[in-house]
Amino acid sequence: MARSENAFKEALAGKNIPLLTLDNKWHQLFTQAQTEIPAEIRRGEEKLNELIKRQGKLNTESKEIRKLKKRLMTEIMDLADSTGGNPDAASEKKMEDNRRLINECNEKLEDYARELRLLPEEISSVNQKLMLRTMDICYQRIAENTREISGIDRWVKEIRVEIKKKLVRKEENEKAIFDLYSYMHDIFGAEVIEIFDMKYNPEERRKARAEKAAARRAVAGQKKIEEQKA
């Protein structure tokens, strides 16, 4: 890109960039750009999805662990109440097991909480890199299309100029033909012009032959009708 990635990061600081892989329009961008998705984009997409999935899993498991911890604590309190503060061996073992499990829950919750504090920044970083690469690809495609449009515009302008020249030439030729016929008609007369039309104008010759053939068919048809009547 024209400017450094750091410059873009500074400009984007504080901006809310949606998670690209969760936006269907982001996927459609590459279809609109008519370009294959580069391997770098694929890797970024996979990385971002993994992080989002990991974040969701940690949040879900944290809720389940908190539920388990609450149930274990409730069991300890119920056992303490039911034994009146003098639990038997089985109850003591059950409470001890629950305390151990609660400690494990606390340790896991701390680990999950620590990872969950770091994940948003990592997700944001990967998402921003993916956005910058996406913008780079889209603007490259825009630049290519712009160059092509400029080339087409130049071609259209050139063609228009050429068409104008041809139209002027066409009008000049039509006027020259009209003037020639007018002068020839005035000088030589209509009958002479018709004779020379037959020689020099193949189209006129073809039309004349067609008219004569049609006339002959009409005469023959009329004679046949008269014969049938007789």
Count Cβ atoms below 10 Å from residue 130 Cβ, excluding itself: 22
The reported pLDDT for the residue numbered 218 is 74
The reported pLDDT for the residue numbered 1 is 42
Rounded Cα distance between 138 and 96, Å, is: 61
Rounded Cα distance between 169 and 179, Å, is: 15
pTM comes to 0.62
Tell me the Ramachandran region of residue 72: left when phi exceeds 0, alpha when psi lies from -120 to 50, beta otherwise.
alpha
Give the domain ranges of the chain. Answer: 5-163, 166-229
Each residue's pLDDT, cut to its tens digit, for the chain (230 residues) gives 444 456 566 666 666 788 998 988 888 887 776 667 888 889 999 999 999 999 999 999 999 999 999 999 998 888 877 777 676 888 888 888 989 999 999 999 999 999 999 999 999 989 988 988 888 888 888 899 899 999 999 999 999 999 999 999 989 988 888 888 788 878 888 777 777 765 666 566 566 667 767 777 777 777 777 777 76
